[in-house]
Amino acid sequence: MRRIPLMLVFALTLAPLGAEPQQAAKVYHIGFLGLSSARDYAPNLEAFRQGLRDLGYDEGRNVLIDYRWAQGRSEHLSGLAAELVRLNPDVLVTHANGVGAAQQATTTIPIVMGVVADPVRQGLVKSLAKPGGNTTGVSSQIMDLSPKRLELLKEVVPAFKQVAVLSYQDLPSVREHLWDIDVAANKLGGLRVRTFAMVTEPTGLDAVFASILRARPDGLIVLPDSRMTPHNARIVQFSAKNRLPAVYGSRDFVEVGGLMSYAGDYREGWRIAARYVDNILKGAKPSELPIEQPTKFELVINLKTANALGLTIPQSLLVRADKIIE
């Protein structure tokens, strides 16, 4: 009987010596810097999260994401980027003006661009093939789409002579957008382009609308920007009330009654961004990861709105549409 306890003690003493030590699973740390808000950017943010989940990253289990949102104010981005850098994440993820703010805050932490308009022209990277530095990610090509939006308006309203362009003016890419639209306008017979600055506060929208009406444009182009989201319905209502044909940089406008939109698939871009994060967390250097450009572009037309505006959408345009709302 004495032997049994002694054998048990001996066995328990030896067991840990032969067992493999249990290592805690690695928890990666991502810093996310957004220009608008979690609510306004929800579809793109969810696409990014889903992209991470598809790659095996579960938020709260093996990846921690610290979010900072500028609430539509670019001037807050630098301070928020600095906050995230002080947290020392494994990678920073951002978009729009946030990329420049992140680059100013760090030259060592990898930066992944979710969706950015032509980062080469903006001076954010050296080239698409070899970005260099600590930044890589996804280029949205949205500037390439601006002339196309003007062409679409011209197809729908062949006689129009003047177009209003509504956009936030603080984005570095806006100047390039407007330049491309001007070039396209000259090629289409010297159309006149008038630009109008979008405002963040809803109380300032009436003044913006009044300025557009005083210019008496024949059409309206609304450039893509996540900060537009809270104002989508009001902009569409303004266009409808004043019988102003408009083309938008996001299908969200068309789904609430806008005439048509031509845009890239931003959600696809954010799913791609998740893949870049995965590559970097596995040891890849951002300077050696070529920047990718989504290839899917979407034309959405609202026929009900066209009828209300007394417009006939050419058949040649209808057959090219990816979605028609009737």
Q: 261 vs 14, which has greater pLDDT?
A: 261
Mean pLDDT of 129-133: 95
pLDDT at 283 > cutoff 90: yes
pLDDT (0 to 100) of residue 142 = 63
Segment 65-93, tens digit of pLDDT: 999 999 989 999 999 999 999 999 999 99
Q: 146 vs 114, which has greater pLDDT?
A: 114
At a CB cut-off of 8 Å and minimum separation 6, what does 104 contact?
A: 78, 81
Segment 31-56, tens digit of pLDDT: 999 999 999 999 999 999 999 999 99
Q: Do 28-140+266-295 and 142-265+298-325 come out as alike in CATH topology? A: yes
Place of tokens 């028609």: 324
pLDDT at 266 > cutoff 50: yes
Closest to 226 measured CA to CA, from 77, 120, 71, 122: 71
**In the predicted model, what is the mean pLDDT of the chain?**
90
Which token pair is 302?
């609202």
Segment 200-236, tens digit of pLDDT: 888 999 999 999 999 999 999 999 888 898 999 999 9
pLDDT (0 to 100) of residue 201 = 86
Place of tokens 């008038």: 194
Q: 115 vs 113, which has greater pLDDT?
A: 113
Q: Which of 14-23, 152-161, 185-194, 254-263 has the lowest mean pLDDT?
A: 14-23
What are the sequence ranges of the domains in the chain?
28-140+266-295, 142-265+298-325
Answer whether 230's CB lies under 8 Å from 253's CB: no
Q: Amino acid letter at 84?
A: L
pLDDT at 100 > cutoff 60: yes
* CB atoms closer than 10 angstroms to residue 10: 10
pLDDT (0 to 100) of residue 174 = 78
Alpha helices in the chain (DSSP H): 3-18, 42-54, 77-86, 97-105, 142-156, 174-187, 205-215, 232-241, 251-255, 266-281, 303-308, 315-318
For the segment(s) 28-140+266-295, the CATH number from 3.30.465.10, 3.20.20.70, 3.40.50.2000, 3.40.50.2300 is: 3.40.50.2300
Which CATH fold topology does 142-265+298-325 show? Rossmann fold (3.40.50)
pLDDT (0 to 100) of residue 156 = 95
Segment 141-164, tens digit of pLDDT: 665 688 899 999 999 999 989 999
Segment 188-209, tens digit of pLDDT: 988 999 999 999 888 999 999 9
Which token pair is 319?
């057959």
